[in-house]
A and B are shown apart, each in its own frame.
Chain A
Amino acid sequence: MLRALLSRALVGLAVVGGVVTLMFFLIRLAPGDPALLLVGPTASPEQIESQRRSLGLDQPLPEQYATWVGRFVRGDWGTSIATGRSVAAMIAEAWPATVRLVGLSLLLSYVLGILVGAIQATLGGRLDTTLSVISVTLFALPGYWLGLMLVMVFTYWARALPAFGAAGFDADFLTGWSRIADRLRHLALPLLTLTLIGIGGTARFVRGAMLDVGRAPHVAVARAKGLPATQVTFRHVLRNALIPVLTLLGLSLPALFSGAVFIEAIFAWPGVGRIMVEAVGARDYPVIMAATAVSATLVVAGNLAAEALTAWADPRLRSEQRSGANA
């Protein structure tokens, strides 16, 4: 078990390395010169050249790559070309905001989505049809548009919730409950946007998984034994249906992080996604690279966690891996 996880972790590390390498060469192959952006259009060729030299861009590509990798693994992530700040500090400030938003939305959309999907699969009938229509619509909502619509309703019409940022301008002067309330009010709309879409996807999936399991022979046996319906639903159907849901959790993580990029851009949420969008526009190589590495790591780590959870939840997988390790 442990050994299997360790080897998966190594594969994950290789994936992160691959992603980062790919990005490194892609952004340097693309047209656009950060030195040019930095010195401005009126600079002389000598000024551009010296700017390129100070950024290390005059070196051959493989050499730039080796230097970058060497510094990066030692924790020296360089300074942002656009802002002049330390990249590590920028990322360190940003990633908790992304994890807070994505993590909470993940939790809420799975809890509520499993609930809705289970209700649909168990009760069926007209309620199932209605909820199906709702969940497919939620699933089809583009996050950036849903975000705008929620801002229109809750910020402009109801004047109830803020539309930008993670805290108010006066946040530093607030204490205790009012500070927490301020934070929560700012979290509300981005979280609602991501979660509504997430509930749609999860409910659709859970409904399908439960209907599939419901047709399995062991469920027929359980019913034939005369077990109460609730026990069959919870013990025999839901528990088994949740195994693919856990796998889904891992697979949907990249999508969730991707979705968060749009949501962060809409709501000016100070996370990794927003930093990425800004850095991409400014050709800010060190920031793009660090943000890519961090988001790839978060995705791979999330996948690993989901895989470990699946293995823990599914006894068949546990024994398979054990016998595999012994063989």
Chain B
Amino acid sequence: MRPGSLLLDGRARFGVAVIALAILVAAGAPWLAVDPVAQGDVVATRFRPPLSTGPTGTFHLLGTDRFGRDVWARLAHGARISLTVGFLAVLLSVAIGTIIGAVAGFWRGRISVALLGLTDFALALPRVVLLLLLASLWQPSAVLVIVVLGLTGWMTIARLVHGEVRALAERPFVESAVALGVTAPRVLLRHVLPNALTPVIVAAALGVGNAIMLEAGLSFLGLGVQPPTPSWGNLIASGRDTLVNAPWVATAPGVALVLVVVAATLLGDALRDRLDPGHEPRVAGREA
């Protein structure tokens, strides 16, 4: 597939544009926005509405919160944490899922049965319950959230990879590689896996949105990234108490979150329609 042809799809254009913008904002946060923890005179600077100018002449695009902190600055800095956590968590799930799925699909027999059983079992676990437990029993941090999301999100990927690898292992080009005396791990790595990764790309695109949403959910409950470090989830949580005085504090990070998740979903949809015409319908459940 040429990369250009994907951009003919309106959904993909929207998805790429929004995600690129979010990454730009996250990367450029220190230059685009003033220091998110800078505080002046709290009483004078707090609860400034969006598009207003503070007493010292600072322009507040999205207003200020109850400590007089600039919401746009916190949103931009929060994007760094939220996006990093989302992408790394999905990367971890993809790694685990690909390894388990590939091994289970390539080597039949007891290993395969055991790994598939493990996958089914993990799929039946109530993910958020597990997240709650793990995140609250250990000291909450961004790294813990990444590990926990990664460890609870690999099952769909494992199933997809298993199906693909199993089908590919019977194809003539794989048989001929085996007949030529190529070692099994090399056949798997060089001949089978590269051809099995298409649905993984799609699942990963869709997974990023879900992971960002779950990170925000955990941080919202106080079990994820800890304030004062801003993440979109704890920004929403901090705006919860000021819904009446300053509704923009909770609204802005939520809108950003929804935009990024919609973008990831649409990009995933477009990718799937391009790469994988005979796809299986996907699970509609989502967890936050």
> Which residues of A line the B interface, CB within 8 A?
15, 18-19, 22-23, 26-27, 30-32, 136-137, 139-145, 148-149, 151-152, 156, 197, 201-202, 204-205, 208-209, 212, 244, 248, 251-259, 261-262, 265, 276-277, 280-281, 283, 288, 291-292, 295-296, 299-300, 303
12 CB-based A-B contacts, threshold 8 Å: A23-B133, A31-B137, A140-B258, A142-B216, A144-B220, A149-B250, A151-B243, A252-B285, A254-B124, A255-B283, A257-B129, A296-B126
Distance of B125 from chain A, by nearest CB (Å): 6
CB-nearest residue of chain A to B280:
A244
Contacts of B128 in A (CB 8 A): 257-259, 261-262
Cα(A299)–Cα(B283), bound, Å = 15
Judge if B286 is at the interface, Cβ distance under 8 Å.
yes
Select which of B134, B209, B244, B250 is within 8 A of A140 by beta carbon. Answer: B209
Contacts of A208 in B (CB 8 A): 281-282
Q: Which residue of B lies closest to A259 (CB)?
A: B287
For residue A208, which residue of chain B has the nearest CB? B281
Contact status B254-A261, CB under 8 Å: no
Q: Is B265 an interface residue (CB 8 A)?
A: yes
**B121 contacts chain A at the CB level, 8 A cutoff:** yes
Q: Is B236 part of the binding interface, using a Cβ–Cβ cutoff of 8 Å?
A: yes
- Identify the interface centre among A137, A142, A299: most chain B CB within 10 Å of its CB: A142
- Nearest B residue to A28, CB-CB: B137
Is there an interface contact between A204 and B284, defined as CB atoms closer than 8 Å?
A: yes
Q: Are A299 and B126 in contact (CB under 8 A)?
A: yes
* CB of A248, distance to nearest CB on chain B (Å): 6
Judge if B34 is at the interface, Cβ distance under 8 Å: no
A27 to B130, CA, bound (A): 10
A interface: dominant SS: helix
Residues from chain A with a CB closer than 8 A to the CB of B251 are 149
Chain B residues in the interface with A (C-beta under 8 A): 121, 124-129, 132-134, 136-139, 209, 213, 216-217, 220-221, 236, 239-240, 243-244, 247, 250-251, 254, 257-258, 261-262, 265-266, 269, 281-288
Pick from A140, A257, A265, A292: contact of B261, CB under 8 Å: A140
Contact A280 B288 (CB under 8 A): no
How long is the Cα–Cα vector from A27 to B129 in the complex, in angstroms?
A: 12
Quote the shortest CB–CB distance from A256 to chain B (angstroms): 6
- Distance to closest chain B CB from A264 (angstroms): 11
Cross-chain contact A262 with B284 (CB below 8 angstroms)? no
Query: B282: shortest Cβ distance to chain A, in Å?
Result: 7
Give Cα A246 to B244, complex, Å. 42
Interchain residue pairs A-B with the least CB separation, the first 4: A255-B285, A252-B285, A30-B137, A258-B128
Q: Contact: A292 with B129, CB < 8 Å?
A: yes
Q: Which residue of chain B lies nearest to A204 when distances are taken between CB atoms in the complex? A: B284
Chain A contacts for B127, CB-based, 8 A: 254-255, 258
Q: Which of B132, B209, B220 has the most CB of A within 10 A?
A: B132
* Given A254-B126, A257-B128: 9 more A-B contacts, CB < 8 Å: A19-B124, A32-B137, A136-B266, A142-B213, A149-B250, A152-B243, A248-B283, A248-B284, A258-B128
Query: Interface of chain B, helix or strand or loop or mixed?
Result: helix
Q: Which partner residue on chain B sits nearest A197 by CB separation?
A: B286
Q: Which residues of B contact A258 (CB under 8 A)?
A: 126-129, 287-288
Q: Which B residues lie within 8 Å of A31 (CB)?
A: 137-139
The verdict on A257 contacting B126 (CB below 8 Å), with A18-B121, A137-B258 known, is yes
Given known A-B contacts A139-B265, A148-B240, A152-B247, A280 and B287 have beta carbons under 8 A apart: no
A residues in contact with B269, CB < 8 Å = 136
Asked whether, in the complex, the Cβ of B137 is within 8 Å of the Cβ of A259, the reply is no
Decide if B137 touches A140 in the complex (CB within 8 Å): no
B250 CB contact (under 8 Å) in A15, A148, A212: A148
With both chains docked as a complex, state the minimum distance between the C-beta of B76 and any C-beta of chain A, in angstroms. 19
In Å, the complex CA distance between A291 and B128 comes to: 13
In the complex, what distance in Å separates the CA atom of A299 from the CA atom of B258?
A: 28
Q: Within the complex, what minimum Cβ distance (angstroms) separates B153 from chain A?
A: 12
Asked if A19 meets B125 with Cβ closer than 8 Å, knowing A244-B281, A255-B286, A276-B132, the reply is yes
Report Cα–Cα, A153/B239, bound state, in Å. 15
Tell me which of A27, A139, A295, A303 has the highest count of chain B C-beta atoms within 10 A of its own C-beta: A139
Complex-state Cα separation, A18 to B127, whole angstroms: 14
In the complex, which residues of chain B have a beta carbon less than 8 angstroms from the beta carbon of A259? 128, 286-288
Chain A minimum-CB-distance residue to B283: A251
Q: When the two chains form the complex, which single residue of B121, B125, B254, B266 contacts A148, counting CB atoms closer than 8 Å?
A: B254
Q: Which residue of B lies closest to A282 (CB)?
A: B136
Q: Which residues of B are found within 8 Å of A261, using beta-carbon distances?
A: 128-129, 132
Contact B285 A253 (CB under 8 A): yes
Quote the shortest CB–CB distance from A267 to chain B (angstroms).
Answer: 12
Tell whether, in the assembled complex, residue A145 and residue B254 are in contact, meaning their CB atoms are under 8 Å apart.
yes
On whether the beta carbons of B236 and A145 are closer than 8 Å, the reply is yes
A144 to B266, CA, bound (A): 22
CB-based contact B132/A277 at 8 Å:
yes
A15 contacts B124, C-beta separation under 8 Å: yes
How many angstroms from the CA of A170 to the CA of B284 in the assembled complex?
A: 39
Q: Decide if A149 touches B254 in the complex (CB within 8 Å).
A: yes
Q: How far is the CA of A36 from the CA of B286 in the complex (A)?
A: 37
Most chain A Cβ neighbours within 10 Å, of B127, B139, B239, B240: B240
Cβ contact of A251, chosen from B138, B243, B285, cutoff 8 A: B285
Minimum CB distance partner of B216 in chain A: A142
CB-CB under 8 A from A251, the residues of chain B are 283, 285
Q: How long is the Cα–Cα vector from A201 to B216 in the complex, in angstroms?
A: 20
Instruction: Tell me, rounded to whole Å, the shortest Cβ–Cβ distance linking A8 to chain B.
Output: 12
Q: Is the CB of B129 within 8 A of A295?
A: yes
